[in-house]
Amino acid sequence: MIEIMNNSTKIYRIVLLVEFIFIFSLCITTTTTTTVVSSVNAVNADHHVNRWQLPAKSTALVTGGTKGIGYAIVSELGLSPFGCKILTCARNENELTDCINEWREKGCDVRGCVADVSTTMGREILMEAVKVLINEEDCATPGKLDILVNNVGTNIRRQSSIDYTEEDLEFIMKTNFKSFFELTKLCHPYLVRDKMVGECYCQQTSSVVNIGSVAGVTCMKSGTPYAATKAAMNQLTGNWACEWGPLGIRVNCVAPWYINTALAQQVLQNEEYKKTVLERNTLWKSGRTRRGCCVSRIPVLTRCCLYNWSDYQC
């Protein structure tokens, strides 16, 4: 069940039932038409069917896929009936290996790359793995990347803006902003699609999904450097959508409210802080991700923003 409110800036506020990943699924279809299913039974093992569509064997790069939202996204793609071919990355080799083994045991076509995308070397290493992925013979579009999910992000929380050091600022900026900016540039040649003969548009499209935060939309206690990077992501999403739309690249951004991940738990375990978070959410719940097909027994509703720049703005 979703509720969408349209305003002058075409920002879509969406109330989700059960899970954040359903929102993600609305904007990753690689066709030019988006299908929205009116209801979802998230406990059903066949939860992917009719929820979203992809060409068989679509290739996907999901950064930071071993934890939280990234893990849930890889699982959603991997467990879908479309046979997605997925590449994810992480800095910790042991955690990455454990996740890859877990996904493969469930029948997911996932491979991993140990890389720190906040560094130039890490991005270069990851791109070599991307080239191997997209040149496998059974890909939906050989030589091309179908989906890029920019999920990597981090945060450092301080009491006040004046408490942040220059090193703090640089670390957050290079991890949250520079990493996805530079990586998307590197992926750009593999995301571009051919135009229809005699037309100014592309029949097939690729999709870039940026994982942002409502911290980039409104004022909250997430820390000013973090909020600034997420606001920059929102703006860049719109710019890229308009700039790259004619090349067949769709660019959208999902900006969730607090999602109950390990990173968020650093502050949500503080009951006073958690109370201030819930008071700003009329549903009095934080969101959560799903670990594989296992859904928490606690029913959760959460609020987020979906920037459908490619689909509605340009």
pLDDT tens profile 186-235: 999 999 998 877 777 788 899 999 999 888 888 777 889 999 999 999 99
DSSP 3-state percent helix, strand, coil across the chain (nearest 5): 40, 15, 45
For residue 195, the enclosing domain spans: 4-313
User: Is 190 a known active-site residue?
Assistant: no
Q: Where are the beta strands (DSSP E) in 215-260?
A: 249-256
Per-residue pLDDT, 21: 41
Using a 10 angstrom Cβ sphere, with 0-12 exposed, 13-18 middle and 19 or more buried, the burial of residue 236 is buried
C-alpha span between 102 and 106 (Å, rounded): 7
What is the pTM (predicted TM-score) of this model? 0.75
Mean pLDDT, residues 18-37 taken together:
37
99-137 in b/e burial notation, b at 16+ Cβ within 10 A? bbebbeeeebbbbbbbbbbbbeebbebbbebbeebbeee
**Nearest to 58, CA basis, from 141, 175, 176, 165:** 141
**Structure tokens given for 104:** 């493969």
- Lowest mean pLDDT across 16-20, 107-111, 138-142: 16-20
pLDDT, mean of residues 129-153:
96
The pLDDT of residue 18 is 28
Distances (CA, A) of 109 to 1, 41, 134, 175, 267: 30, 25, 13, 27, 35
CATH number at residue 229: 3.40.50.720
Mean pLDDT value of segment 292-311: 38
Between 297 and 69, name the one with better pLDDT: 69
Among 12, 190, 226, 307, the one annotated catalytic: 226
Taking residues 145-152, report their average pLDDT.
97
Angle (CA) 112-140-27 rounded to 5° is 75
Number of domains observed in the structure of the chain? 1
Token duo for residue 285: 């719940």
